[in-house]
């Protein structure tokens, strides 16, 4: 069965609207964007749309791709000192000459994605102050379909800091039988009860165990068409539940990001 991310996101957003009504102060969320990428602009537009729906001022700070390390550091430092915005997102990836973690750490208490070393430390030590939006997304989906990962074979494809690494840690905490392969093999796909992928290689998941659950964070645009890691035609009659691309994890991820922001004020 196809999981409709738009429907799940809408449910989260309805709760966020109620939360927003309880918060009487002005709210401002900022995104720091370095360079120009039309695909990144699309993701930012999605966030901007939800911010408007939740009565949150949304500011995009555009910096040139050639920005120097010191300039960017000082720019972030100045924003962190100010009252507004109360939350900051550093749009990734950064140009190659800029060290991502160095600048993420500069966000300090305005980090809402659990990407500073401090927030990651709390998360990986089992005492999270905030949860990564990707983890929240998985948690919401599994709860929705009544899937408990404990003692289930759970395959995580990709081990990046935004998707694979935090989700793998969360699954360990849930006592899942975690599988983290160096390469994708049929054997892993066919024995896994849950497959979570964030590789960004179109249709790389073309088989699965009967009744498996597949959560796809993969995103790749080719010839004006968007693909996930999942080959929907090959698995739709095998998987019990799966997320399509687009319209699967993406809307939920954005809603969870705003949930993190609003939770700062509760």
pLDDT at 158 over 90: yes
pLDDT band per the 50, 70, 90 thresholds, residue 61: very high
Sorted by sequence, the CB contacts under 8 Å of residue 32 that are 6+ apart come out as 61, 63, 75, 76, 79, 88, 89, 90, 91
Span of 1-10, 114-123, 221-230 with lowest mean pLDDT = 221-230
- pLDDT single digits (tens) 96-139: 999 999 999 999 999 999 999 999 999 999 999 999 999 999 99
How many CA atoms within 13 Å lie on the side-chain side of 240? Answer: 14
Which helix (H) or strand (E) segment holds residue 170: the answer is: helix 164-173
Stated length of the chain:
266
Model pTM score: 0.97
Q: Determine how β-strand 194-197 pairs with β-strand 220-222.
A: unpaired
Give 29's pLDDT tier (boundaries 50, 70, 90). Answer: very high
The string of pLDDT tens digits covering residues 165-191 is 999 999 999 999 999 999 999 999 999
Does residue 203 surpass a pLDDT of 90? yes
pLDDT average, residue stretch 222-242 = 96
pLDDT computed for residue 39 by the predictor: 86
Neighbours of 167 (CB within 10 A): 26
- Which pLDDT belongs to residue 246? 96
* Contact in structure between 75 and 61 (CB atoms under 8 Å): yes
Task: Flag whether pLDDT at 224 surpasses 90.
Answer: no
Position 2 scores a pLDDT of 97
- Number of H helices and E strands in the chain, helices first, is 10, 10
> Domains of the chain (ranges plus CATH)?
24-111 (3.40.50.10860), 133-250 (3.40.50.720)
Lowest mean pLDDT among 44-53, 220-229, 236-245, 253-262: 220-229
């Amino acid at each position: 069965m196809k999981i409709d991310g738009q429907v799940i996101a809408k449910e989260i957003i309805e709760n966020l609207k109620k939360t927003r009504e309880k918060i009487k102060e002005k709210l401002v969320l900022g995104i720091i964007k370095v360079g120009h990428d039309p695909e990144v602009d699309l993701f930012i537009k999605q966030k901007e749309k939800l911010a408007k729906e939740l009565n949150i001022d949304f500011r995009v700070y555009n910096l040139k791709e050639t920005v120097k390390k010191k300039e960017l550091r000082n720019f972030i430092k100045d924003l962190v000192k100010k009252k507004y915005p109360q939350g900051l997102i550093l749009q990734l990836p950064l140009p190659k000459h800029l060290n991502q973690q160095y600048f993420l750490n500069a966000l300090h208490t305005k980090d809402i994605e659990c990407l500073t070393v401090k927030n990651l430390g709390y998360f990986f030590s089992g005492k999270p102050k905030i949860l990564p939006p990707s983890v929240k997304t998985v948690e919401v989906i599994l709860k929705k379909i009544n899937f408990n990962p404990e003692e289930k074979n759970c395959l995580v494809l990709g081990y990046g800091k935004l998707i694979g690494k935090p989700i793998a840690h969360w699954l360990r905490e849930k006592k899942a039988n975690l599988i983290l392969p160096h390469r994708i093999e049929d054997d892993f796909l066919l024995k896994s009860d849950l497959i979570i992928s964030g590789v960004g290689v179109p249709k790389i998941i073309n088989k699965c165990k009967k009744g498996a659950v597949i959560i796809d964070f993969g995103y790749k645009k080719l010839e004006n068409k968007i693909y996930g890691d999942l080959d929907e035609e090959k698995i739709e009659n095998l998987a019990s539940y799966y997320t399509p691309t687009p319209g699967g994890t993406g809307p939920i991820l954005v809603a969870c990001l705003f949930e993190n922001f609003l939770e700062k004020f509760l």
